[in-house]
Amino acid sequence: MCLAVPGKIVSIEGTDPIFRCGKVNFGGIVKQINLAYVPEAKIGDYVLVHVGFAISTVDEAEAQQVFEYLRQMGELAELEEKQ
């Protein structure tokens, strides 16, 4: 249920949405993955892959928020300390 890994689309085959698949690169390992559920994904995008299917795209901007959040907290904590 839970093991889904982000990988980069390196090629896409097929125009039929249901049978659309592509090669996805996971740190150098390349596997053929079904892309039917990410119709908007293009070559170069990162997708989240579970049992041979891309179930979501990875939003690169949002990916920063884990660290942004931390930065904001840090600033907040400094502020509280000063008061």
Partner 1 sequence: MRLITNIEDQKTMTGNAFVCPIPLEQYPNVLLAHGGGGKLTHQLIEKMFLPEFSNSMLGARHDGAVFDLPASKLAFTTDSYVVQPLFFPGGDIGTLAVNGTVNDLAMCGARALYLSAGFILEEGLAMDTLWRVIRSMALAAAEAGVQLVTGDTKVVDRGKGDGVFINTAGIGLIESKAAVSPSSVQPGDAILLSGDIGRHGIAIMAVRQGLEFESTIASDCAPLSGIVMSLLASGIAVHCLRDLTRGGLASALVEIAETARLHFEIEEAAIPVIEEVQGACEILGFDPLYVANEGRFVAFVAPREAERALEQLRAHPLGAQARIIGTVRDDNPGLVTMRSRIGATRIVDMISGEQLPRIC
Partner 2 sequence: MRFIDEYRDERAARHYSHALGRITRKPWTIMEVCGGQTHSIVKFGVDELLPPAVTLVHGPGCPVCVTPVELIEKAMEIASLPNVMFCSFGDMLRVPGISRDLLAVKADGGDVRIVYSPLDALRLAMDNPEREVVFFAVGFETTAPANAMAVFQASQRGVHNFSLLVSHVLVPPAMEAILSSPENRVQGFLAAGHVCAVMGYTEYEPIALKHHVPIVVTGFEPLDILQGIYMCVRQLEQGRAEVENQYSRSVRREGNLPAQKLIRQIFRVVPRKWRGVGEIPQSGLGLQEAYAEFDAETRFGVAHHTADEPEECISGLILQGIKKPHECPAFGARCTPEHPLGATMVSSEGACAAYYQYRRPKNHDR
Residues that bind partner 2 (CB under 8 A): 1-6, 8, 17-19, 26-27, 34, 36-39, 46, 48, 50-53, 55-60, 62-63, 65-67, 69-70, 73-74, 77
Task: Select 27 or 80, whichever has its Cβ closest to partner 1.
Answer: 27
Q: Which residues bind partner 1 (CB under 8 A)?
A: 1-3, 5, 7, 23, 25-31, 49-51
- Smallest distance, partner 1 to C-beta of residue 24, A: 9
Contact call for residues 46 and 60 (beta carbons, < 8 A): yes
**Both tokens assigned to 67:** 């660290």
Q: Is 3 exposed, middle or buried (0-12, 13-18, 19+ CB in 10 A)?
A: exposed
The residues, ordered by sequence, that sit 6+ positions from 50 with a Cβ below 8 Å of its Cβ are 3, 4, 5
Task: Select 3 or 61, whichever has its Cβ closest to partner 1.
Answer: 3
